[in-house]
Amino acid sequence: MTNPRYAKFLLGMGLCVALAGFPDVAFAHAEAGAASGFLSGFMHPISGWDHILAMVAVGLWGALLGPPALWILPIAFPVAMAAGGMLGLLGIPLPWVEIGIAVSSIVLGLFILTNMQLSLVIAIPLVMIFALFHGHAHGTELSPGADAVLYSLGFVIATGLLHAFGIAVGAVDALPKGRVAIRALGGGVLLGGVYFLLGAFA
Amino acid sequence: MTPYRAGLVLSFGALLAPSAAHAHLVNSGVGPFYDGALHLILSPMDIVRLVTLCLFAGAQGPQSARSAVILAPAAWLLAGVAAYAFGATGSFGFANAISLFLIGGLVAFDLRPPPAVVGAVAAGFAGFLGLQNGMALRSDGMDWVALLGTAAAVLVVVLSVTALVVSATAFPFRVACRVLGSWASATGLLSIGWIVAASR
């Protein structure tokens, strides 16, 4: 701790952590369960690698496609996923859900690997179809008892943040070897999809 | 460490040292007016819906936003007073989900209705929320003055957020608003399925 500014920064953070160690009583009355509803929803999309891979890949592919796909795909995906979730909640069946989820990773990974430049007319419906599969899988797994709106809010925000993470990773494209790194990531997503597809058939 | 940074660190530390928190049944210690204001601020779903409304109103430009800024708090207060006075009761989970889906969709699709329609949507949506707040405040046994505090908080939130959205014309900010709108819409859509499934 030789740098005085660094030392002061650490001291300040230490004080914050120490203050955080003195919580008082919290009476969350009518809103009891709200936090658990939001957190449960937030954790749901990040609870499985098959979902994480595809959602990050959507952001990454959007970053490769550039505007307006960069922001239209992350707008379309959560809405279609919510629609799929609604179908799952209502018990309306959707065939080949697990296969669809795995194929979404394979296709998106392939697009990133090959830097596929599709038009929005194709890209948006394709991503929305993938989102339906992911949403349906989540919808059939949703645990009852939590606050519906807060749970849904947490669920959607987590999904959006995964897209944002993919877009942020896509910024690597500006670096000298960035494109190679991104294509390698696409290859990783593809392999992950193949693994999940084998699991779906197992 | 500069005084500014020291202040930041101390403020952050103070935030991490919570005192007794009475969520929803708020007791600010400075009277029912402020209890009402805190009631709104500590109700996450009210804030989410209100902010979504502000995104919609602000995205329409200054003229539409002005009407929404005036009409929304007024409608909120009127509906809240009516619900409080008449002791209205009811459950609005499904209607809440649908309204969030629709208003979020308007933001996400960047639809631009005429100012009169924006004002009507703002008044209707805010009135609907105010109605529920009036009912909640009465059932929580809070003084009617709390309604004024709630409406004042609504005015502050609507003014601040709508003004921010109107003034920030940069393209990335507009995109961020639409993304937030799509999140709100998706939240509403998923909630509709949830509520219908739970009612079976």
pLDDT by residue (tens digit) across B61-116?
898 899 999 999 999 999 999 988 887 777 788 888 899 999 999 999 888 888 88
pLDDT computed for residue A14 by the predictor: 54
Report yes or no on B106 lying in a domain: yes
Residue range A86-112, pLDDT digits in tens: 999 888 988 898 999 999 999 999 999
Q: Given A34, A89, A91, which is nearest B194 (Cβ)?
A: A89
Report yes or no on A86 lying in a domain: yes
Q: How far is A170 from chain B (nearest CA, A)?
A: 17
Report yes or no on A118 lying in a domain: yes
Domain range for A136 is 35-201
Above 90 in pLDDT, residue B163? yes
Q: How far is B110 from chain A (nearest CA, A)?
A: 12
Q: Given A25, A71, A85, which is nearest B190 (Cβ)?
A: A85
Report yes or no on A72 lying in a domain: yes
Residue with the larger pLDDT of the pair A154 and A16: A154
pLDDT computed for residue B29 by the predictor: 64
A144 falls in which pLDDT band (50, 70, 90)? Answer: low
Domain count for chain B, please give it.
1
Domain range for B83 is 30-199
Residue A138 near residue A52, CB atoms below 8 Å: no
Residue with the larger pLDDT of the pair B134 and B1: B134
Residue type, A104: S
| Whole-prediction pTM | 0.77
In the numeric block, which tokens belong to residue A117? 């430049």
Above 60 in pLDDT, residue A25? no
pLDDT computed for residue A32 by the predictor: 45
Report yes or no on B17 lying in a domain: no
Residue with the larger pLDDT of the pair B18 and A134: A134
Residue with the larger pLDDT of the pair B198 and A128: A128
Report yes or no on A1 lying in a domain: no
Closest CA relative to residue A79, chosen from B196, B44, B180: B180
Report yes or no on B35 lying in a domain: yes
Report yes or no on B20 lying in a domain: no
Above 80 in pLDDT, residue B170? yes
pLDDT computed for residue A133 by the predictor: 93
Residue type, B24: H
Report yes or no on A179 lying in a domain: yes
Q: Given B17, B188, B197, which is nearest A22 (Cβ)?
A: B17
Above 50 in pLDDT, residue A21? no
Sign of the CA dihedral with B11 first, then B15, B17, and B23 last: positive
Type and span of the H or E element at B104: helix B93-108
Report yes or no on B16 lying in a domain: no
Report yes or no on A192 lying in a domain: yes
Other beta carbons within 10 Å of B84: 23
Residue B181 near residue B108, CB atoms below 8 Å: yes
Average pLDDT over residues B15-20: 52
ipTM of the complex: 0.74
Above 80 in pLDDT, residue B181? yes
B23 falls in which pLDDT band (50, 70, 90)? Answer: very low
Q: How far is A116 from chain B (nearest CA, A)?
A: 24
Above 80 in pLDDT, residue A154? yes
> Measured between CB atoms, does A122 come within 8 Å of chain B?
no
Residue range B113-141, pLDDT digits in tens: 888 899 999 999 999 999 998 888 888 88
A1 falls in which pLDDT band (50, 70, 90)? Answer: very low
> What are the φ/ψ torsions at residue A22 (nearest 5 degrees)?
-120, 60
What mean pLDDT, rounded, does chain B reach?
Answer: 84
Residue A60 near residue A185, CB atoms below 8 Å: yes
Residue range B185-195, pLDDT digits in tens: 999 998 888 88
Least confidently predicted of A25-29, B11-15, B99-103? A25-29
Beta strands A26-28; B21-23: pairing state: parallel
Average pLDDT over residues A184-196: 93
> What residues of chain A, 20 to 39, have a C-beta less than 8 Å from chain B?
20, 22-31, 34, 38
pLDDT computed for residue A29 by the predictor: 38
CB distance A89–B193 less than 8 Å?
A: yes
B13 falls in which pLDDT band (50, 70, 90)? Answer: low
Residue type, A191: L
DSSP assigned state of A173:
G
Domain count for chain A, please give it.
1
Average pLDDT over residues A3-28: 52
Above 80 in pLDDT, residue A115? yes
